[in-house]
Every structure is written in C-alpha cells, then in structure tokens.
Amino acid sequence: MSIPATYSALDLAGSFALTSPTSDIAVPLTLPGDVHAALLAADQIPDPYYGENEKQVMWVNETAWSVERSFSASAADIDGYLTLTLAEVDCIATISLNGEVVAETQNSFLRNDIDVTGKVREGDNTLRIDFAIAPDVAKARADAHPFPIPFTKNYQTNGLKGIHMNFIRKAACHAGWDWGICIMPIGVYGTMSLRKSRLARQESVQVDQAHGRNSVELSVKTRLFAFAHGEVELEHTIDGQTITDKVVVNKGENVFTHNLTIKNPKLWWPAGQGEQPLYELVTNLEGEKTTRQIGLRKLEWIVEPDEIDHTFKCRINGRDISMLGANWIPADAIPSRITPDVIRDLLGSAKAANMNMLRIWGGGQYEPDYFYEMCDELGILLWHDFMFACMSYPSDRPFLDNVRAEITQQVRRLSHHASIALWCGDNEVIGSLSWYPETKAAPERYVANYDRLNSMLG
C-alpha cells in the first residue's frame, strides 16, 4: 500500500541581502552561513586568523545585522498547514515574514518550527531576519540578574572584553578560548525551509534496541506535531520490512511506537573491533520522508567494585573495550567553513590514529547530522557533553525552560546514532565554583544554583 504524498518543502537557503542600520555595508550573504564569511568575501574585513586581526573585526559582533530575501510560492506550495523551519539561528533574532514578526529566537542550538499557515501568499514573499547584538543582550541579562554570575576568563584572549556567554545559548568558544580566536559569529547554520503538511509534520524519530541471542527488537518512537484532530498515514521501512499504520492525531504533539524485529543481525562495532554495518530506516508521513542509519549494538557502562574503588568500563556487544580518543572542538571559528569535507578529513585522521571515541566538548556545539553519520560509518563513539563550560549559569525559570527545549530536541535528534555512547552534563562547571571571587564568597548559593540546572539536565 502506498501512502499518498501530500507533503512538500520549499528550500529557502540561498543568497540573502546583508545590511545593517548603523553601517552603509550592503553585501550578499549565502545562508546557511555567517556574516563574517560574507564580509570576508566582499573584502570588508581582514582574515581574523591572521596576526591580531581578531581585534580589527570585533566591530562586526558589536553591530546589529539584518538579512533578507524574497521567494516565490505557488498555490500548491501553500495549500495546507505551513511550517517555517529555521535551525541554528545564531542567536538572538527577530524573524519576519512579509513584514509581520512571526518568531523571536533565543537559542542557537534549536530547530525553530514556526507555524506560518495563512501568512505566505501566492507569488512573491519576503523573509527577513534581524539579529540583535548578542554581547549587549548578554550583558543586559547579567546586569538584571538578582545576583552576579561570573563569566569564564578562558576567552579573554588578546585583551578582548569579557562577554557574558552564560546568559545566551550560543557556543561559548565563539567568544574565544585559550586555544581559539574571538569573533562571535552571526548567522543561520541549519535547515531553512517552508514545509507544507496536510495535517501533521514529523518532529523526531527515536529507536531503542533490545538484543536477543539471534535477533534485535527495534522500538521506533515517532513524534508528530498535528495542527488539528484527524487521521494520518505513517510508515517505517527497514531491512526489507515495512510497517504502515493509520493513526489518529490530536492537535499538538503525538507519540506513536512501532516494533520491528531484525533477525540474524549484523552487529555494529567500534573502530578496530569489527565492522560498522548500518541499516537504513525510512520514515514516511504522507510524503515527508526522513532517513536514518541504524547501527545495531548493545552498549553498557559497567560500574562495579574493584580493588581501587569501582570500574567504569564500556562494554559493546558483550565485549569490554578500551576507549582511545581525544577532545572534539568546533572545526573552525567561522561556521560556514565547517563543511562535510573538512569534518570527514578530521574524523578520518582520528580513526587513522587508532581512536575509537571522541568527547564532544561542552564549550562548543551540537554538530550537524552529517557529523554523527560519519562517526557511525567510521566506528567512532561519542562522549557528548551538553553545552555548558567553565562558568555558572542562571537557573531561573525562563533559562531552564529554554535549555529544557534544547536538550530535549537534541537528544531526540541524535539518540538513534550508534556513535552516541554517553550524555554528560557539562564541562568543569562544578569545578568553576572554586575559580571566581563571587562563587567562593557564597558557595552555598552557587551550589544550589548549579543543582537546579543539573537536576533538570538529568
């Protein structure tokens, strides 16, 4: 039985006009991409990596920028419920469609799914993004906080001023680090599309595995967002098996679980321990098709008493394996220069050096889908921090709600990957309580503050 295709997507990536209300600069910018790359291409700034040029380009992140493009939509493109999807908007921005504000973004680690039903017209339309000055927003939030939360000194390189990165959700190392330059990039780095659905859209697909002697039971959990009550057709295909189901949805989030059994499975192993066979899972919601590669493996962290204290062993498919690896930081300070070719070269080098695990450092970013797919293919496991590093963070309700949405979305996006071995709360945040005069003077306050955030992450 074939599912009727009622879904379509209009790609909004491409060339935008970059302008600023406080500058006469007007240059093209390719999105996904970033402002610094556009200014470099237009010879408006020098290479920030050269000499002390990072000081010469600081004005870029101290400037408000706007990007705008027009796009054409046909009657068929808008005949349904419409979602404007903008992923990884970096970071405080106002989204306008045909002159109407449709969203305010606060978190560069989120995929923003914006309901724009009825707001797109047949013919010409205009999409505009106005970026606030992130350091100014961060400082204003820090100043308004009821008690001081110190920012890390790690990024005060070359005499640059401190930026309260703990008050905005953006890669901390964008403000520089002891190993990298500070340029505070601005842009959009992920999906940009207008999605048309008959009744519902896909939100996430997670896959749990239960390993038997000669089979693996897959539990496929699909989240759909429905715009109204009704019935939709959902299909999963893997290893020559297809499950098709008509499901009733209610307005809002809906969760459906389907089970499949893979007999005589080909098991996935870390690099150096065996092969990395991958099964393709295709999910089809009335023409909205998403594809995920699934590595079948049983991963256990073994903690048991030993002669010193206790073990912390990684056991894959019943075999204890020594983890050999390194720390992973973002591949470039200029986001648009991080490409699949760059990432494959780096990950291939890690495997060639006999690494089988990388730790995604909490001062960086959640990487794009292709990064995790390459790790699956290469047999590289990931110890994955959440994005917190070397400083305390607020624990008020708006901040925690923002972070909760972030980690929920990221875990759901990534949990099916064979490469994901462990989620870790942060990088050195609890240790940082002994680094700063404010935290040392009132440890109880900052431990309680830390506990509120950490408890939510758990």
pLDDT tens-place string over residues 310-343: 999 999 999 999 999 999 999 999 999 999 999 9
pLDDT at position 419 over 70: yes
Q: How confident is the model at residue 156 (pLDDT cuts 50, 70, 90)?
A: low
* More confidently predicted of 236 and 3: 236
Q: How confident is the model at residue 153 (pLDDT cuts 50, 70, 90)?
A: confident
Which helix (H) or strand (E) segment holds residue 60: the answer is helix 58-61
pLDDT at residue number 162: 74
Q: Cα dihedral sign for 87, 88, 90, 92?
A: positive
- The residue ranges of every structural domain in the chain are 8-193, 200-294, 323-457
Global model pTM greater than 0.85: yes
Q: Cα dihedral sign for 218, 224, 230, 233?
A: negative
For helices 397-414 and 443-457, angle between their N-to-C axes, nearest 10 degrees = 40
CA 212 to chain CA centroid, Å, is: 33
pLDDT at residue number 160: 62
Decide the pairing of beta strands 357-360 and 325-328. Answer: parallel
How far apart, in whole angstroms, are the C-alpha atoms of residue 11 and residue 191? Answer: 9
pLDDT at residue number 152: 83
Decide the pairing of beta strands 325-328 and 81-87. Answer: unpaired
**2-41 residue pLDDT tens:** 677 799 999 999 999 999 999 999 999 999 999 999 999 9
Q: Is 375 helix (H, G, I), strand (E, B) or coil?
A: helix
Mean of pLDDT over the chain: 95
Mean pLDDT to the nearest integer, 45-74: 95
Q: How confident is the model at residue 398 (pLDDT cuts 50, 70, 90)?
A: very high
Q: How confident is the model at residue 203 (pLDDT cuts 50, 70, 90)?
A: very high
Alpha-carbon Rg for the chain in angstroms: 23
Paired with 73 in beta bridges are 123
CB atoms within 10 A of CB 421: 22
pLDDT at position 158 over 70: no
What region, left, alpha or beta, does residue 333 occupy, with left being phi > 0 and alpha being psi -120 to 50 degrees?
A: alpha
Decide the pairing of beta strands 381-385 and 357-360. Answer: parallel
Domain 323-457 coded CATH 3.10.310.30: no
CB atoms within 10 A of CB 134: 26
pLDDT at residue number 155: 63
CATH number of this structure's domain 200-294: 2.60.40.10
pLDDT at residue number 287: 97
Same fold, 8-193 and 323-457: no
8-193 to CATH, choices 2.60.120.260, 3.30.360.10, 1.20.1630.10, 3.30.1220.10: 2.60.120.260
DSSP letters spanning 404-446:
HHHHHHHHHHHTT-TTEEEEE--BSTTGGGGTSHHHHH-HHHH
